[in-house]
Amino acid sequence: MSWNEPGGGKKDPWSGRNDKNDPPDLDEVIRSLQDKLGGIFGGGSKGGLGSGPSMKGVGLLAAGAVILWGLSGFYTVDEGTRGVVTRFGAYVNTTQPGLNWHIPSPIEQVAVINVEQQRFIEVGYRSGGGQGMGSVPKEAMMLTKDENIVDVRLAVQYQVKDAKDYAFNVLDPASTLKQVTESVQRGVIGRSDMDFVLTEGRSDIVLAIKSEIQSVMDAYKTGILITSVNLQDAQPPEQVQGSFEDAIKAREDKQRLINEAEAYSNDVVPKARGAASRIVQESEGYKEKVIARANGDVSRFSQLLTEYKKAPAVTKQRMYIEAMELVLGRSNNVLVDVKGGNNIMYLPLEKLANKAVEDVAPAPVISHEPVSLTSQPVKEIKTDVRASSRERDVRGR
């Protein structure tokens, strides 16, 4: 049955009239939305699409937007950092740690910079990444004062001392610092000999490099503070390291031999000087002794001469007796003067004493034969009768 036939209810399949299950009309939805918005801003739906919101509603929305925009300007600066505030790109001020506020973006912006972080750069080598721990010859190779090539690897640690200068005065502070370090390093190495760089001059070179880098960075007003400069390695190029090590060993051997020679000299020279001093002192002592003895002999002779002049005979006799006593006191022979005879017996007492010692000493074979002391021959010495008589007279006196 069609829609316009009797009994069809006159239902139009296109308009959807008289169908309660169809969606609402689009115009009705728009009108309903306008009525709700008009209620908020104080208007009604009678004006249709042409009626505008009230000034009160617009003010409330604007005030809310301004409040939210103002609240977005609050920010926190952590300890050890500084906030650099810029207004349309120009520097305004530097804020300290804590809660701060700035005019929200896009008028003002804040860049937070860590001023306590220890940063570092590597010159001549890389400690990480694709190159590993290897050297970078373009940065490491440099010429010394004595026209030798040396491989120097340097590490520089720094931190920010002025956030404003660090943020505005230099476009890339790390790259600038690296270029300045390379330049200063080559200048310092170029003023030094190779042996000085590789041996005792490392600390002096580090201090000179640090001082010059800081001077240049302060002149550029980069806001960077150099905290330490570490000379990681300084050695000749790899192509000549073997020969250089041989030269170092030869130099060390030379120094060792010099030290040994100096030690031997320090040991021998004092002994020689002491011996020489001892000999000189002994010579002086001998000289004094001889002089004193000579002076004593002269004095004794002078005194004896005085006595001789007083009593020549007595003095002569006394001198003779003293001389004979001195001479005979050193002899082991005994002279026996036999009264009434003209012969003097000679007894070899020294031989007899030696024989007695030999008899007392133990012997492997003991002999029981008696030993007679008279078995030794007695020598007789014939002297002039007048000489023996004179001798007896002297002893009698």
The pLDDT tens digits of the residues spanning 286-309 come to 999 999 999 999 998 888 888 888
Please state the rounded mean pLDDT for residues 314-340. Answer: 78
Mean predicted lDDT score pLDDT of the chain: 78
Q: What does the alpha-carbon distance between residue 68 and residue 104 come to, in Å, rounded to a whole number? A: 10
User: What pLDDT band is residue 30 in, cutting at 50, 70 and 90?
Assistant: confident
Higher pLDDT, 196 or 238: 196
Q: What is the pLDDT of residue 106?
A: 86
Whether pLDDT at 393 is above 80: no
Average pLDDT, integer, range 147-165? 91
Q: How far apart are CA 225 and CA 116, in angstroms?
A: 11
Out of 13-17, 27-31, 310-314, 368-372, which region has the weakest mean confidence (pLDDT)?
368-372
C-alpha to C-alpha distance for 161 and 167, rounded to whole angstroms: 11
pLDDT at 394 over 80: no
pLDDT exceeds 80 at position 368: no
71-85 burial: b if 16+ Cβ within 10 Å, else e:
eeeeeebeeebbbbb
Q: Give me the pLDDT at residue 157, please.
A: 94
Model confidence band, residue 367 (pLDDT cutoffs 50, 70, 90): very low
* Averaged pLDDT for residues 72-96: 88
Report residue 233's pLDDT band, with 50, 70 and 90 as the boundaries. confident
The whole-number pLDDT of residue 45 equals 44
Mean pLDDT of 8-28: 56
Q: What is the pLDDT of residue 349?
A: 65
pLDDT of the residue at 227 = 93
Helix axes 26-41, 55-71, angle to 10 degrees: 80
pLDDT mean over 2-12: 54
Q: Is the pLDDT of residue 382 over 50?
A: no
Q: CA 24 to CA 80: how far, in whole Å? A: 64
Cis amide bond preceding 173, omega within 30: no
Mean pLDDT across the stretch 103-120? Answer: 88
- pLDDT > 70? residue 397: no
Read off the tokens for 78.
Answer: 């952590």
The pLDDT value given to residue 370 = 41
What's the whole-number mean pLDDT along residues 354-379? 49
Q: What's the rounded Cα separation, in Å, for the pair 157 and 210?
A: 10
